[in-house]
Amino acid sequence: MIVSTLKRLSWALLLLAIQVLILDQVHPWGYGAPLLCPLIIITLPLGTSRSEALLWGFGVGFVADIFAGTSGISSAALTLIAFIQPPLLQLMAPRDSEEELRPSFSAMGRWNYLQFIALLLILHHLVYFALEGFSYFHIEDIAISMGVSYAASLLLIILVEHVRNPKK
């Protein structure tokens, strides 16, 4: 248990470092940055309790907020998807899966895992950009930023997942 927690913590720190040092500086076409932090919550194993997932979501979001200066936006968005991730994973995981199933393309199947990522990522981005904009006067800019960031984040997460779990 301690070993798996330390692995998860090191994975989270690596993704947070990539997010803060590289991705926060990238804004495709001047809109939204790709967000890699949701991958930390997306890959929590099947046996993760909801309270543990919420702690991970808030903790990762809090650290991301400190370094990005977003004053609670990441914490709120990641805590929301951490609340939804365990029951959604239980719903979308194969019926005969083991208790410690780690969500991945190989464990859940390509289509199920892609749907799982897409659902959690769209929820994250809806909350993140609604709170970031905090106004509906510039709804077009918020929607464009969310769409560009969503597409870039989804592609980046799929790329990271293929690098992390190559086909055998």
What's the pLDDT at 157?
A: 93
pLDDT above 90 as % of the chain:
37
pLDDT on residue 101: 82
Residue 132 has pLDDT above 90, yes or no: no
Q: State mean pLDDT over 9-15.
A: 87
pLDDT value, residue 156? 92
Residue ranges and CATH numbers for the domains of the chain are 2-164 (1.10.1760)
Predicted pLDDT at 21: 84
| Alpha-carbon distances, residue 155 vs 101, 116, 161 (angstroms) | 23, 14, 10
Q: Are 145 and 129 in contact (CB under 8 A)?
A: yes
Cβ distance 142 to 28 under 8 Å? no
Instruction: Report the distance separating Cα 24 and Cα 164, nearest Å.
Output: 22
Distance (Å, whole) CA 156 – CA 98? 28
Across the range 92-105, mean pLDDT stands at 80
Mean pLDDT, rounded, for 75-89: 94
Range from 94-98, 117-121, 151-155 carrying the lowest mean pLDDT? 94-98
Residues 64 and 91: their CA atoms lie apart, in Å, by 29
Report whether pLDDT(168) > 60: no
Give kind and range of the element (H or E) at residue 77: helix 73-92
pLDDT value of position 8: 84
Q: Tokens at residue 35, please?
A: 């967000």
